[in-house]
Structure 1
Amino acid sequence: MSNRAVVVYSGGMDSYTVLHKALAEGKEVYALSFNYGQRHSKELEVAALVCAELGVSHKIVDISAINQLMAGSSLTSDIDIPEGHYAEESMKNTVVPNRNMVLLSMAIAYAVSLEAPEVYYGAHSGDHHIYPDCRPEFVHAMNAVAGIANYQAVEIVTPFLNSSKGEILAAGLAMGLDYSKTWTCYNGRVQACGKCGACNERLEAFAEQNTQDPLSYEI
């Protein structure tokens, strides 16, 4: 069986940890990032730098044309990014309609073309409250489809599906990872805002691990 694996790599700290976990497991990694018109496209620049540094094959696929079909989210439309914690109802406007089903479908197609049996995806428990397409029932259903949609079955690997952001960070710190090479903030400015749901969750994770976030913040 091929040792190749496609890693859906946004440039954020979760997928950064997943990328390194796949490498640590000896996988021949093919990183895949998507420009879907997200306002925090700075994450793609970070992803490209990391992959170049690691010598990992990396594709950034421009699917921004489908932005017109995925409207209504503050990440892709002209809607203010809400501030506060993910548990707040206001955070639901950061949901991009059907995003992960679309991205995983393309990652599966890429895996089939490479004869790679696995797609790594960084869903985690901190996203379960707000994002339906990060929940275990979604992942398990997509995994079932990935097994029958092509002549070659593909497995969706989610090593942190039931882990918190803090637990992911702990795993990465144990691997000696440098999280200054990640971008989390939903606002793609020079510094992270420190107020959006993504920043709040990231800062909480670092606080849980009693360590300093290496990124600089506007607050």
Structure 2
Amino acid sequence: MKVAVVCSGGLDSVSLAHVVAASGDLSRLISFDYGQRHSKEIDSAAACAKRLGVPHHVIDLRSVGASLTGSALTDDVDVPDGHYAEETMRITVVPNRNAIMLTIAYGIAAANGDDHVATAVHGGDHFIYPDCRPAFTEAFDAMQKAALDGYADVTLYTPFVRRSKADIVTEGAKVNTPFAETWSCYKGGEIHCGRCGTCVERREAFHLAGVEDPTPYEDPDFWIKAVEERGQG
């Protein structure tokens, strides 16, 4: 079995790459430059591919991303602080991002004889991101089977789509994922800010998984307040 992993370079996708590699099935990593605020994640993905000894495809989607306006991840819009469960985090949605990226990933997988495209979407993403929900992943897989009918048999692999980010940390730790070499922060500073939605979610996931978080944060304790406020909301 050959599995191509869509890898942003963040905690989730790098952990998934290591989990797949541990089973001996990893064929390649696929990353996308869609004009996001910084390249730290792609650098992390490149390091992961090198570490695992597989090809790394970096697809230039900057011209596409330039048209997907209105997101704090691509435009000159402040990245909000706080937990993902807050309505303000909708500003981090890049419209149709996963559908666009997965379509290309399927094409690459089919061209190279891969059996699966794997993506690390998880249950914690469902509130904000519609293209991370089971309804989307199942429909997308069915659509791609029709698109490749008679040419290739590629299946979408989403082992965490109904699981939590803490589960990803747990599974990643089992295969010795170097968490310190992953990048999650939306702001792209020297170190993780500790305040944006993905930093808060990352810090909370390590706590819930009972795994030591090796990540340095500018504001290492902000997540506690953010989680408390979410619980009161």
RMSD: 1.1
TM-score with structure 1 setting the length:
0.96
CA distance in 2, matches of 1:211, 1:144: 36
CA distance in 2, matches of 1:197, 1:147: 34
Match of 1:188 in 2: 188
Instruction: Kindly state the Cα deviation for residue 25 of structure 1 after the two structures are TM-superposed.
Output: 2.1
Match of 2:29 in 1: 31
> Higher mean Cα deviation, 20-29 or 37-46?
20-29
Instruction: Kindly state the Cα deviation for residue 28 of structure 1 after the two structures are TM-superposed.
Output: 3.9
Match of 2:2 in 1: 4
TM-score with structure 2 setting the length:
0.90
Residues 166-177 of structure 1 aligned to structure 2 (within 5 Å)? 166-177=166-177
Match of 2:153 in 1: 153
Matched residues, number: 217
1:92 corresponds to 2:90: yes
Residues 55-204 of structure 1 aligned to structure 2 (within 5 Å)? 55-150=53-148, 151-204=151-204
Instruction: Kindly state the Cα deviation for residue 5 of structure 1 after the two structures are TM-superposed.
Output: 1.8
Instruction: Kindly state the Cα deviation for residue 213 of structure 1 after the two structures are TM-superposed.
Output: 1.5
AA in 2 matched with 1:188: G
Match of 1:217 in 2: 217
Match of 1:20 in 2: 18
AA in 2 matched with 1:94: T
Q: Any idea what the Cα deviations from partners look like across 1:160-190, whole Å, max 9, x if unmatched?
A: 1111011110111122222011001101111
Cα distance, 1:141–1:211 mapped onto 2, change above 3 Å: same
SS state at 2:66 partner = helix
Instruction: Kindly state the Cα deviation for residue 93 of structure 1 after the two structures are TM-superposed.
Output: 0.4
Q: Is the 8 A contact 2:17 2:26 kept in 1?
A: no
Q: Any idea what the Cα deviations from partners look like across 1:34-92, whole Å, max 9, x if unmatched?
A: 10011132100111112112211111111111122211100001110010000000000
Q: Any idea what the Cα deviations from partners look like across 1:86-140, whole Å, max 9, x if unmatched?
A: 0000000000010000000000000111021210111100000000000000000
Structure 2: runs of 5 or more not aligned = 220-233
AA in 1 matched with 2:190: V
AA in 2 matched with 1:58: H
Percent identity over paired residues: 44
CA distance in 2, matches of 1:40, 1:29: 26
> Higher mean Cα deviation, 137-146 or 36-45?
36-45
